[in-house]
Chain A
Amino acid sequence: MSEDYKKMWEELDIDLERHDQLLGGLSQLYTNVYLLQKNRPKGMEYYDYVISEVHGLRIKELCDFRKKGNKVVAYFCLYVPEELVLASGAVLVGLCGGSNFADQDAEAVLPRNICPLIKASYGFKVARVCPYFQAADLLVGETTCDGKKKMFELLGELVPLHTVEVPQKPETEQARKLFFEELNTLKSKLEELTGSKITSEGLKKSIETVNAKRAILERLVNTRKASPPPISGKDSLLVFQIAFYDDPQRFTQKTTELVEELEERIRKGEGVVDAEAPRIMISGCPMAIPNWKLHNIVENSGAVIVVEESCVGTRYISMGQIDNSSDSVDGLIKSIADAYLNIHCSCFTPNDGRIKDNIQLAKDFKVDGVIHYSLQTCHGYNIEAKKVESALKEQGIPMLTIETDYSGEDTGQLTTRIEAFLEMLKK
């Protein structure tokens, strides 16, 4: 695709040489991880196409959209409501941060031993290799962890930035009030950016759009309760990763087609693996494109991942169907704020909701074991792993704890640990 889009990338001030390296690596990785899978649903062709055009077609859409005077808002974390952004007439795209490609660039400024996602987020901007970043008119950060907070301050020197404060004790009335106020401030910021007022009609409509996206994703998640599941964990992970930046209406339509195919597969008893394959739940940190490392090792070892308690899994839809019956902008923002505080991130304290979610999901999806996944130095998830493990143990569900980054150097050790865990489950 490089020739067709070269001019567009040049206009976005992309470092073309390094960008070519990035895409070359991605294409090879994608072939190995995704295209060699057996029994893939036909509906995955759309997502294959989206990845093959990852820095092409979607970027062109965004550029055309901007040429008409519209704005693109970029974000990293679920607490930034897409509903508000859409209602302002802008679009929201998720930035990746799932590769160590630009670590050397990031390390010129950031400490070496920090979270790989934080490093990547910053690195991709300074290396000028991410067209989504380059096309963003505003970056909305959040205060989920200290590393991100401080990194955002540095990123704010390079791009227009607005940071939303996420309260840490969501159960309290003060927290709900604070988050409501924070979203109101974001609303003003977005209105300032786009020059158009957010109305209750606009918000009602955008809530409907995002509700539809969440509804179809929930149906997708539910298909994986089947034994054998009709879709691999890797493929489902990809669908969620793409949800972060695809056009929401098109995404919902394409995912509906996929889900209908999967439901048909279940009726026919067709699975992506044998029914004997151990069923694994992944719980923990988000996995941004192209971080398919853990899923790849687990599924290549003969198990199947049936659910992710993760920002690229059930947490992405944990806001549920947001009530849009209120006729006032304030009322609607209140609904959004309350719903978004149902995302049980480890930045909360206490975070008992997440512990309960893990037990419920493990039961609902009849998992044989849980793999807790933490990015290196992610203190929240890393420490919370202990609570998750104890709670699961009480229910007789074994858990393996993994802490890793984006490099491949520990693949051998991870494979041994994961295979030993699976051998333990199979006995």
Chain B
Amino acid sequence: MDPIALGLDMGSVSTKALVLDDSKIVGYAILPTGVNPQNSGKKAVAKACLKAGISMDDIGYTVATGYGRINAPYADSRITEITCHARGAFFSNTDTRTVIDVGGQDSKVISISDDGQVIDFQMNDRCAAGTGRFIEVMARALEMSYNSMSKAALNSTKPSKISSMCTVFAESEVVSLIAKGERREDIAAGLCHSIADRIASMVNRIGLREDVMMTGGVAKNSGLVKLLEKRLKTKIWVPEEPQIIGALGAALIAREKLPSKMRAPREKPRKINYHPMIRT
């Protein structure tokens, strides 16, 4: 068996491993990162290999990415999640020019060129505003699960006004809205509006170019994606599994480093979606 490429995306909330055989995703795994990222990384790799039906010895090259990429000493190289998300998104749809990636503690907007290279990007600083962490904290304040909060927002008729973007201040704002007797659905919708505003301003800073793809765990929140589409006046593509796009990009980079591929020129982008796409 020819050596196989592995991408490992060690995010702040979940760890993703993806096995790529030539141009096909043959297995992937998503695990919570937890308090022992090194361990979670190894487990994710083992699980992805199991799904792919390969042994870990078949891996020819590993690229680690994500916030915890330094926690994978066994990786052959480390590339930032910005480069990897751009690669993964472009591979999934070669018409992608803007990637919105919202993960556990970071949100990023990446502008990519016609040949799939990063040309510019915006990333939040240490502040949790507009990230998955923000939604988690707010869901907790509403005593809802992450998923039920996303769904509840869709049932709102009159979204509450949340003026604060700061996670700490917004939480106390939510508490006072609950005290005022506002409906949880409306507060949840208000929070989605506030996150959409934050992300939209990052997109506008960099300049929107179509097509737009959203990746990262927060892209699973379809209410938020719809709001964002409205704000940006554009369609947003969401991959079937938006959480693995960083790992996919890492695996694509790893694939180029495989001995069998070393001399071959980088393949031209093809308008084939190996990874099924859905429109929201």
Query: Chain A: residues with CB nearer than 8 A to chain B?
Result: 398, 403-404, 409-410, 412-413, 416-417, 419-420, 423-424, 427
Is there an interface contact between A416 and B126, defined as CB atoms closer than 8 Å?
no
Question: Is B120 located at the chain interface by the 8 A CB criterion?
Answer: yes
Bound form: Cα–Cα A419–B83 in Å? 9
Q: Can you add 16 more A-B contacts, CB < 8 Å, to A413-B125, A420-B123, A424-B120?
A: A398-B120, A409-B126, A410-B125, A410-B126, A413-B106, A416-B67, A416-B80, A417-B82, A417-B123, A420-B80, A420-B83, A420-B121, A423-B82, A424-B83, A424-B117, A424-B121
Residues 35 to 91 of chain B near chain A (Cβ within 8 Å): 67, 79-83
| Closest A residue by C-beta to B66 | A416
A424 touching B118 in the complex, CB below 8 Å, given contacts A412-B67, A413-B106, A416-B81: yes
Question: How far in angstroms is the closest Cβ of chain B from A352?
Answer: 23
Question: How far in angstroms is the closest Cβ of chain B from A387?
Answer: 15
Bound form: Cα–Cα A144–B80 in Å? 38
What A residues does B126 contact at CB under 8 A?
409-410, 413
Question: Is B119 located at the chain interface by the 8 A CB criterion?
Answer: yes
What A residues does B124 contact at CB under 8 A?
413
What B residues does A413 contact at CB under 8 A?
106, 123-126
Question: How far in angstroms is the closest Cβ of chain B from A55?
Answer: 31
What B residues does A427 contact at CB under 8 A?
117-118
What B residues does A420 contact at CB under 8 A?
80-83, 118, 121, 123
| Interface residue count on the B side (C-beta < 8 Å) | 16
| Closest B residue by C-beta to A426 | B83
What A residues does B82 contact at CB under 8 A?
416-417, 420, 423
| Closest B residue by C-beta to A403 | B125
What B residues does A403 contact at CB under 8 A?
125
17 contacts between A and B (CB under 8 A): A403-B125, A410-B125, A410-B126, A412-B67, A413-B106, A413-B123, A413-B124, A416-B67, A416-B82, A420-B80, A420-B81, A420-B82, A420-B118, A423-B79, A424-B117, A424-B118, A424-B120
Bound form: Cα–Cα A398–B118 in Å? 11
What B residues does A404 contact at CB under 8 A?
125
Question: How far in angstroms is the closest Cβ of chain B from A5?
Answer: 38
* Contact flags B104-148 to A (C-beta < 8 A → 1, else 0): 001000000000011111011110000000000000000000000
Is there an interface contact between B118 and A423, defined as CB atoms closer than 8 Å?
yes
| Closest B residue by C-beta to A301 | B80
The 10 A-B pairs with the shortest beta carbon distances in the complex, nearest first, are A420-B82, A420-B80, A410-B126, A423-B83, A424-B118, A419-B80, A416-B80, A427-B117, A417-B123, A420-B83
Is there an interface contact between B123 and A416, defined as CB atoms closer than 8 Å?
yes
Question: How far in angstroms is the closest Cβ of chain A from B113?
Answer: 9
What B residues does A424 contact at CB under 8 A?
83, 117-121
Question: How far in angstroms is the closest Cβ of chain A from B246?
Answer: 12
What A residues does B106 contact at CB under 8 A?
413, 416
Bound form: Cα–Cα A77–B125 in Å? 28
Bound form: Cα–Cα A427–B126 in Å? 27
| Closest B residue by C-beta to A412 | B67
Bound form: Cα–Cα A417–B118 in Å? 12
Question: How far in angstroms is the closest Cβ of chain A from B232?
Answer: 21
Bound form: Cα–Cα A417–B124 in Å? 10
Q: Which of A404, A413, A417, A420 has the most CB of B within 10 A?
A: A420
Question: How far in angstroms is the closest Cβ of chain B from A253?
Answer: 43
| Closest B residue by C-beta to A424 | B118
What B residues does A416 contact at CB under 8 A?
67, 80-82, 106, 123
What B residues does A412 contact at CB under 8 A?
67
Bound form: Cα–Cα A403–B127 in Å? 12
What A residues does B119 contact at CB under 8 A?
424
| Closest A residue by C-beta to B118 | A424
Bound form: Cα–Cα A416–B117 in Å? 17
Bound form: Cα–Cα A419–B65 in Å? 11
What B residues does A409 contact at CB under 8 A?
126
What B residues does A419 contact at CB under 8 A?
80
Q: Which of B67, B82, B106 has the most CB of A within 10 A?
A: B82
What A residues does B83 contact at CB under 8 A?
420, 423-424
| Closest B residue by C-beta to A414 | B125
What A residues does B125 contact at CB under 8 A?
403-404, 410, 413
Bound form: Cα–Cα A416–B124 in Å? 11
* Contact flags B258-280 to A (C-beta < 8 A → 1, else 0): 00000000000000000000000
Bound form: Cα–Cα A423–B117 in Å? 10
A423 touching B123 in the complex, CB below 8 Å, given contacts A412-B67, A413-B106: no
